[in-house]
Structure 1
Amino acid sequence: MRYLRHTILTLLWLGVFVYMLWAGASVRRGRSALRVRSLDIEVVDSTSQGYLVTGPQVRQWISQSGIGTIGTAVADVDLTAIERLIARNGFVSDVASYISGRGELHVRITPREPLLRLLTDGRNAYVTSGGYVFAAPRASSLYVPVVTGSYRPPFPADYVGDVRACIDLRKQEIEARIEELERSKYPVYRREQANDRSYREFRRKRIKRRWWRGESAEAFDRRVEELLAQKAEQRRVYRYRSRLLAAELARIEEQQEAERRKQKKLEKSYEDFMKLLTFVETVEDDDFWRSEVVQIAAHTTSSGALEVELVPRSGRHTILFGRLEDVDRKFDKLMRFYRNGLSTIGWDEYRTIDIRYKDRVICKK
């Protein structure tokens, strides 16, 4: 009886296994015969500021790429190629595609959310709050703050990607040059050691009177004087070579120091860039300043510091905001001046309002 039960169970499981194989084969046969009947493109736009990419644009990309979609057998559709095609655009954050059981090809695109638009130093790019930069797509329409002026960000004009990654790569390149310069010191060190060794050996040179040849005291004295003269000459040569080698090492060290200064300057420029993003976020997070600030102009001073100027909606003046430090205090000071000063004097009274200095507001007509 036990053997009969085991036999029945075995046959049942064997039947289930055969059915699964048959069902899988049937699905594969049906799927191989199924063709894509429609293409649905969904652009997930979590902002109300406009758009970076539209469904018709994506359809055009896919059409121009030659990747088969509508009318193509489901098994022959290269979903990975479609995703790579769309994702290569820097303004796309994420893309996913799949085909439903009815042959509907779905493509879901999540674009990046820009914080501001850079129109400085020949650039026309969007930047996210996290510091990701990408070229502004043609025909894009986003209502985000615009930063203009002569400010030069710490990345190439055609760069697309995370700015921190760009900075790290450039710092690694500088570090590689510093290490290369360090290796160039080794031959100089060896020449320096050879010069020291040669001089020490010559200094230890001694002469003895040749009694066995009957050398006179006068002849011995002459040889001593010749040796002293040779040592004096050798000392001058040694010191001259030492100065040359020291100068060569100093030159290499100065080159290394110049590279380190580049690293520090690069890191400082990145800090200023991130301060600019934080500043824009501060303006956008405040209802009043978001509507009041029409334009942000950024420029770099002769000392290398980043300063900004603001063009307000009210009045005809320009606000000299200065460096992006003590931002909240400066805005509080400006707000007090708006309430207690301009509201009484008049909004068109001054051409510039300077709030760069602590506890002072300097106005010029």
Structure 2
Amino acid sequence: MRTKWAKYAGIILLWGGVGATLLCASRRVARHDADLRISGVEIEILDSTAHGQLVTREMVRGWIAASEKRVEGRLVSELDLGKLERDIARNGFVGRVRASVDYSGRLRVDIRQRSPLMRLLVDGYNLYVTEEGHLFPAPRSTSIYVPVVTGGYRPPFEPGCEGRLDERLRMEIEKSERRLAELETGKYPFYRRERKNIEYNRETRRMRIRKALLESREHFRGRVEELRAEKRDRRRRYRYEQQQIQLGMNRVEAKCREELARQKKLEKNYQDFSKLITFVKRIDRDGFWRSEIVQIVASTAHSGALEVELVPRSGRYTVRFGRLEREEEKLELLERFCRSDFGSAHRDDWRTVDVRLANRVICSN
């Protein structure tokens, strides 16, 4: 019996010792954390060699200084790591950021930058676009080797736009839907006017007169003519009011049709830009075209469709590619032409190479 109680007492003492040790350690860590100050800053850009220098350590140090002003020597408990991460992540070319402090007090900031797919360099625009359709302004004094889109093409968003393309479209559609709802609300006053005018016409139809007992025929006939004249006047006012109501309704309907057409055009423009992203992806994943295509000249046709021309690295010609349709067929046709003896021998003789027609390559100088 004593052996059993001695065993239980030993277990209790053991766990009590473990608990006391943990409590002592936690208090020591708490005192350490309370007195710990930032001893230095370590910045790691995880993919800088793979994607070029969009983000540099000097830039990150500037963002940290702008967010917290003074970091080194400051108590760790006073530093808001969440706010620091959010402030750094506001720079669109930063894909992910994680800030932490180690036991020695060094602030470590790990950054993964976005991977650009192409650069949009048309009038007023200087943006990088990722495969996922994320837009961010091109940082100053930095350059990444990606296909450049130039020309007179007008993207479906503002020059300073930043963020995901699908989110931008959703916001624009929601704004358009609110505008349509406001226009529909604008019809209500005309509905009320129409009900009131219909009731006015009913009152006109119900207007009657009766001959008085001792009233002369001539006097009664005069009153009848007065009533007829009043009814004619009321009917004219009724018809005029109906015309005004219909004109007002037509104006509202016209604005609704314009907004719906604008919404449809907006969706089409975003679809065209998404096609452009898909087209550049296809070029980027093909070793031949990735090294051959250096520039894409985009323009808007009279029909409103997006059309492109390609500027190859070899040769002095430009490729009239046309609309972004049958892309694989056109690229295969163009590759066979470029690799052929005829295309290689005369690559400097042509000004344009046209692949817009099916199964045809038309060269002109």
Output the TM-score relative to the length of structure 1.
0.92
Match status 1:104 vs 2:98: no
> 1:338 offset after TM fit, Å?
3.4
2:120 is aligned, of 118, 136, 158, to 118
**Which residue pairs with 2:52 in the alignment?**
50
Q: Name the CA shift for 1:53/1:207 in 2 (closer, same or farther; >3 Å).
A: same
Q: Does 1:38 align with 2:40?
A: yes
Q: Is the 8 A contact 1:127 1:134 kept in 2?
A: yes
Cα-to-partner distance string for 1:235-285 (whole Å, 9 max, x where unaligned): 222111101100100100110111111111111110001000001011111
Residue 310 (1) aligns with residue 310 (2):
yes
Counterpart-to-counterpart distance in 1, 2:54 and 2:6: 69
Deviation at 1:37, TM superposition (A): 3.0
Q: Residue by residue, what CA displacement relative to the aligned partner does 1:103-139 show, whole Å, maximum 9, x if unpaired?
A: 3321110001110011012111101011110001112
Letter in 2 for 1:234: R
- Once the two structures are superposed, residues 324-358 of structure 1 have per-residue CA deviations (whole angstroms, 9 ceiling, x without a partner) of 11111111222343355843761122211222233
CA shift for structure 1 position 155: 1.2
Residues of 2 paired with 1:168 and 1:60: CA distance?
Answer: 34
Matched to 1:141, the amino acid is S
Mean CA deviation greater in 4-13 or 35-44: 4-13
Aligned to 2:64: 62
Task: Report if aligned partners of 1:316, 1:351 keep a CA contact under 8 Å in 2.
Answer: yes
2:146 matches 1:144 = yes
- Shift, 1:61, TM fit: 2.8
Q: Is the 8 A contact 1:309 1:322 kept in 2?
A: yes
* Contact 1:79/1:98 (8 A) holds in 2: yes
Q: Distance in 2 between matches of 1:111 and 1:344?
A: 39
Of 199, 202, 209, which residue of structure 1 is paired with 2:201? 199
Which runs of no fewer than 5 residues in structure 1 stay unpaired?
none
Q: Secondary structure at the match of 1:120?
A: coil
CA pair 334-249 structure 1, distance change in 2 beyond 3 A = same
| 1: CA distance, partners of 2:344 / 2:48 | 42
How far 1:226 moved relative to its partner?
A: 2.5
2:353 maps to which residue?
353
Are 2:30 and 1:28 equivalent residues in the alignment? yes
Offset of residue 67 of structure 1: 4.2
Q: 260-269 or 233-242, which moves further after superposition? A: 233-242
What corresponds to 2:282 in structure 1?
Answer: 282
Match of 2:190 in 1: 188
Q: Secondary structure at the match of 2:195?
A: helix
User: Offset of 1:8 from its aligned partner?
Assistant: 6.2
Q: What letter is aligned with 2:296? A: I
SS in 1 for 2:121: strand
CA contact (8 A) 2:40 2:106 kept: yes
1:338 is aligned to 338
Residue matched to 1:251: 251
Tell me the residue number matched to 1:269: 269
Alpha carbons 1:309, 1:321 under 8 Å: kept: yes
1:174 aligns with 2:176: yes
47-56 or 129-138: bigger deviation: 47-56
Q: 1:232 is paired with a residue of what secondary structure?
A: helix
Give the direction of change, closer, same or farther, for the CA distance of 1:111–1:203 in structure 2 (3 Å limit): same
Seen in structure 2, the aligned counterparts of structure 1 residues 308 and 15 have a Cα distance that, compared at 3 Å, is same
Question: Separation in 1 of the partners of 2:144 and 2:323?
Answer: 27
| Contact 2:68 2:84 survives alignment (8 Å) | no
Work out the CA distance in 2 between the residues paired with 1:13 and 1:58. Answer: 48
Q: Deviation digits for residues 65-99 of structure 1, max 9, x if unmatched? A: 44443333333333223312311111101111212
- Percent identity over the alignment? 47
The separation in 2 between residues aligned to 1:104 and 1:350, in whole angstroms, is: 61
**What is the distance in 2 between the residues matched to 1:228 and 1:108?**
90
Partner residue of 1:80?
Answer: 82
SS in 2 for 1:349: coil
Deviates more, 1:215-224 or 1:201-210: 215-224
Q: Whole-Å Cα distance in 2 between the matches of residues 99 and 352 of structure 1?
A: 59
CA distance 1:192–1:19, shift in 2 (3 Å): same
RMSD between aligned residues: 2.3
Q: 1:67, 1:82 within 8 Å by CA — same for their partners in 2?
A: no
Q: CA deviation at 1:313?
A: 1.8
Greater Cα offset, 146-155 or 37-46: 37-46
* Letter matched to residue 165 of structure 2: V
What is the CA distance between 1:203 and its match in structure 2?
Answer: 0.8
Q: Does structure 2 retain, via aligned residues, the 8 Å contact 1:115–1:127?
A: yes
Q: Which residue of 2 aligns with 1:242?
A: 242
Give the whole-Å Cα distance in 2 for the aligned partners of 1:340 and 1:95: 49
Q: Is the 8 A contact 1:45 1:51 kept in 2?
A: no
Q: Helix, strand or coil for the counterpart of 1:31? A: helix
The amino acid of 1:203's aligned partner reads R
Q: Matched residue of 1:48: which SS? A: helix
**1:15-58: CA deviation from partner (whole Å, max 9, x where unpaired):** 44333222211112233333333322110117634121112321
* TM, length-normalised to structure 2: 0.92
